[in-house]
Amino acid sequence: MRIAILAKDLFGTLLASGIVAMLTLQVFVNIGMTIGIMPVTGIPLPFVSYGNNSLIVWFSMIGLLLNIHMRRF
């Protein structure tokens, strides 16, 4: 969220906020499935995937976050 706050343009702010929201939602769903308060679905853990699709997508999104942070000035 710090990267979203420090972004110099609206697009960077929205993109960073969206990435953080996706990660947060995925973490809460996985925690809910683990402790038994949500039904078990096929959502993979962040950065962990059998077919590496999730891993590639999450590394790409982290790269976008780093690029937004690098261009904040």
Digit-coded pLDDT (tens) for 22-47 = 999 999 999 999 999 999 988 888 88
The pLDDT confidence band at residue 65, using thresholds 50, 70 and 90, is very high
Domain count, the chain: 1
The domain in which residue 45 lies consists of 2-70
Q: pTM of the prediction?
A: 0.84
Using alpha carbons only, what angle is made at residue 13 by residues 70 and 47, rounded to the nearest 5 degrees?
70
Is 49 a residue whose pLDDT tops 80?
no
Task: Give me the chain's average pLDDT, please.
Answer: 91
Dist. CA 51–CA 31, nearest whole Å:
22
- The dihedral built from the CA positions of residue 41, 45, 46 and 48, taken in this order, carries a sign that is negative
